[in-house]
A and B are shown apart, each in its own frame.
Chain A
Amino acid sequence: AQSVTQPDIHITVSEGASLELRCNYSYGATPYLFWYVQSPGQGLQLLLKYFSGDTLVQGIKGFEAEFKRSQSSFNLRKPSVHWSDAAEYFCAVQGYNQGGKLIFGQGTELSVKP
């Protein structure tokens, strides 16, 4: 069965420090991969996506993610975190079936300290 694991429930980083949020997936082939961000009381905003090609993808707000097939991972990174990045981050996979449902990880809550 398809699944997504985000091992870190909560991460705290200092403003200006680098960030890496981990995501591992289980799927029979290479799925479509997404990172979404949810600010408190808000909906889900797409940060970036990977379908094929270059394994390093750039997204909005200075985020990037790297797909590593050998590790079944799609980790999200940012070189320098801003206080406004504090939010919950969700990794998701989408299979190739007709419906195209997204399967989400548990989410990682990011806190940023001054």
Chain B
Amino acid sequence: EPEVTQTPSHQVTQMGQEVILRCVPISNHLYFYWYRQILGQKVEFLVSFYNNEISEKSEIFDDQFSVERPDGSNFTLKIRSTKLEDSAMYFCASRDDTDTQYFGPGTRLTVL
């Protein structure tokens, strides 16, 4: 069964450094998403992406965040200058033509 994959599973970085989180959505899906979950809190929407552009973004998704689909398979989230409060689990999801989103296993980002 096709699934969303994410790499790395765990990323540790120093405050102020740039990180890139990678996702491979399910191949025939057209809508892609990033969500995050701070420890002990609910899952929050960050951004949605369709047809090579952002279709919606949350207040959290400020100028330090960017997304890209650099090729036909990868979908990336870049955090330009990480802050301590960016520490969270980041989930990628892709949506099929029944409007159902499928999530990857997540990348745990730890900012020191």
Contacts and interface: CB of A to CB of B under 8 A. Distances in A.
Interface of A: 32, 34, 36, 42-46, 49, 51, 90, 92, 94, 97-107
Contacts of A32: 99
Q: Tell me if B's interface is mostly helix, strand, loop or mixed.
A: strand
B55 A46 contact: no
Nearest to B45: A101
A44 B56 contact: no
Interface stretch (B62-70, B73-81, B101-109): B101-109
B42 A99 contact: no
B111 to A, nearest CB: 19
B82 interface: no
Interface residues of B, number: 26
Given A43-B106, A44-B91, A104 B42 contact: yes
Q: How would you classify the secondary structure of chain A's contact residues: helix, strand, loop or mixed?
A: strand
B31 A102 contact: no
A99 B102 contact: no
Contacts of B101: 34, 46, 94, 100, 102
Nearest to B89: A43
Contacts of B100: 34, 46, 49
B83 interface: no
A49 B43 CA distance: 18
